[in-house]
Amino acid sequence: MAPLMEISEVKAELEKHHSSGFGWALSCCGRDPSEAEEVLQLVYLKILDGRARYGGESSFKTWLFAVIRKTAASERRKNFLRKLILNAGAERVPRASRTEDPALALERSETHARFRHALAQLPARQQQTLHLVFYEDLSLQETADTIGISVGAVRKHYGRAKASLRDLLLESEGNYGIEWRRQKNPSVVL
Amino acid sequence: MGLNGEDKRIRALFCELKREEEHASPLFAKTWNIAEAEFHRSNFGRPRLQLSSNLLRFATAILLVSFVSLVLAATVLLPRYLRPNRQPKHDYAKQGVAAGPLAASEEPLRSGKVPANRESGKPTDRLVAILRAVRVKKSQVAVAKRARPVNQIKQSGLSEWQSPTAKLLRSAGDELLRFVPQMNESAEEMKKFLTNDLN
């Protein structure tokens, strides 16, 4: 087992991977920036008080991403229970999707908004697999180590995720075409 | 080729997403400082936390001890308390044999008390006595059955032996075949009858 790193070394490594860690936290938190930031703070706190220690079994990035994933999962569980207790009996208002927000939709390009929407519709494991492979450029082995599943399972998720994403994008593009034509000519029946 | 094109397209979309999110990511120094402040705050608050954890351990130990004592009381002391006058096992057999199963079974019903061990799922004392009496009786009968043929053979001897199928050979006309008919027997009977009739 490799000797434990000094806190200054750990800090330097964390700084190096901070933005990618934030992106991964976003992926684990359903693209919610405030929740992702909170998760990242908790991860740093865990590292500071020794609850999470890098032992050198894998690369620092893989280890950091695994800690982020576990922390995000526990936070989501806690938030879910908190909401369940607080909103017991109260009428639940469905949370508006970020892609449905018109202000945000204006900021982004239509293609990008559709991509976000399609990505949000995928199961969490498939989202994470695509994120690690395409966003972080990790190999399937590294992805498996980060998520904590076998390479075979990662390969399966990867294939299914790509197929689902393609179908969803094609569907949304079709809908977008219909919407666009309706805006141009409201009398058209489609 | 189609798959590669698809991969490229997905990669391009993710690159765009990454670029956008990198702009939105918080500064490392800010996140780190918040975490560090939280760490120091929790370190200052640790003695209180330790105290509360010690209290929790103490409470857990007390709960554990009380639970164990309750279990002991329920399993060992309570049955003893509920059955103070329980007789030894060999007495049930004697009682059952001497008084018979009926007499043994009547006593608790008359008193109207429910035996303490009925609730615990064990057989009652009365039932034990009955079972023992029945067992003894059965063994006695079995011994008697085994002993009977030998005694009979010794007492009666071979001269009185009868075939078990002899009954099947008997019929209503067996009496006529047992003696030899006498000459003029029927004529003599007729004379008797006629003289009586004439008188």
A6-30 residue pLDDT tens: 888 888 999 999 988 999 999 898 8
Q: How confident is the model at residue A186, as a pLDDT?
A: 58
Q: Are B129 and B95 in contact (CB under 8 A)?
A: yes
Q: Are A22 and B26 in contact (CB under 8 A)?
A: yes
Q: Percent of chain B, pLDDT > 90?
A: 7
pLDDT band at B8 (very low <50, low <70, confident <90, very high): confident
What is the Cα–Cα distance from B86 to B84, expressed in whole angstroms? Answer: 6
3-state helix, strand, coil in chain A (%, to 5): 75, 0, 25
Q: Are B116 and B124 in contact (CB under 8 A)?
A: no
> Best residue in A15, A17, A22, A127 to probe B by mutation, most B CBs within 10 Å?
A22
Contacts of B31 in chain A (CB under 8 A): 18, 37, 40-41, 44
Residue A69: which residues within 8 A CB-CB, separation 6 or more?
Answer: A24, A28, A128, A146, A147, A148
Hey, is the C-beta of B37 within 8 angstroms of any chain A C-beta? Answer: no
DSSP assigned state of A100:
G
Number of CB atoms found within 10 A of residue A41's CB: 22
Q: How far is B19 from chain A (nearest CA, A)?
A: 10
Hey, is the C-beta of A110 within 8 angstroms of any chain B C-beta? Answer: no
Q: How confident is the model at residue A164, as a pLDDT?
A: 92
User: Would you say residue A3 has pLDDT above 90?
Assistant: no
More confident residue, A145 or B100: A145
Torsion of CA A114, A120, A121, A122, to 10 degrees: 120
Q: How confident is the model at residue A64, as a pLDDT?
A: 92
Nearest CA in chain B to A127: B14
pLDDT band at B47 (very low <50, low <70, confident <90, very high): low
Q: How confident is the model at residue B17, as a pLDDT?
A: 86
User: Is B31's CB within 8 Å of A15's CB?
Assistant: no
Q: How far is A133 from chain B (nearest CA, A)?
A: 9
What's the average model confidence in pLDDT over B80-89?
62
What is the Cα–Cα distance from A101 to A31, expressed in whole angstroms? Answer: 14
Q: Percent of chain A, pLDDT > 70?
A: 77
3-state secondary structure chain B: CHHHHHHHHHHHHHHHHHHHHHHHCCCHHHHHHHHHHHHHHHHHCHHHHHHHHHHHHHHHHHHHHHHHHHHHHHHHHHHHHHCCCCCCHHHHHHHHHHHHHHHHHHHHHHHCCCCHHHHCCCCCHHHHHHHHHHHHHHHHHHHHHHHHHHHHHHHHCCCCCCCCCHHHHCCCCHHHHHCCCCCCHHHHHHHHHHHHHHC
User: Is A48's CB within 8 Å of B35's CB?
Assistant: yes
CB contacts under 8 A, A 120-159 vs B, are 130-131, 134-135
Summary mean pLDDT of chain A: 81
Question: Distance of CA A36 to CAs A26, A30, A40, B154, Å?
Answer: 5, 9, 6, 105
What is the Cα–Cα distance from A35 to A37, expressed in whole angstroms? Answer: 5
Q: How confident is the model at residue A160, as a pLDDT?
A: 93
What is the Cα–Cα distance from A68 to A42, expressed in whole angstroms? Answer: 9
Is residue B117 classed exposed, middle or buried when 0-12, 13-18 and 19+ CB atoms within 10 A define those classes? middle
For the segment A122-172, what is each residue's pLDDT rounded down to a tens digit?
998 999 999 999 999 899 999 999 899 999 999 999 999 999 988 888 887
User: Would you say residue B18 has pLDDT above 80?
Assistant: yes
Name the residue among B10, B24, B31 with its Cβ closest to that of A33: B24
Structure tokens at A169: 């994008």
Hey, is the C-beta of B12 within 8 angstroms of any chain A C-beta? Answer: no
CB contacts under 8 A, A 73-102 vs B, are none
Q: How far is A36 from chain B (nearest CA, A)?
A: 9
User: Is A15's CB within 8 Å of B28's CB?
Assistant: yes
Nearest CA in chain B to A169: B10
Residue A79: which residues within 8 A CB-CB, separation 6 or more?
Answer: A35
For the segment A39-71, what is each residue's pLDDT rounded down to a tens digit?
999 999 999 888 888 888 888 999 999 999 999
DSSP assigned state of A132:
I
Nearest CA in chain B to A17: B28
Q: How confident is the model at residue B1, as a pLDDT?
A: 39
Is residue B92 classed exposed, middle or buried when 0-12, 13-18 and 19+ CB atoms within 10 A define those classes? buried
Any long-range contacts for B42-47 (C-beta under 8 Å, 24+ apart)? B42/A45, B42/A49, B43/A49
For the segment B139-159, what is each residue's pLDDT rounded down to a tens digit?
888 887 777 665 555 666 677
Nearest 5°: phi and psi at B63? -60, -40
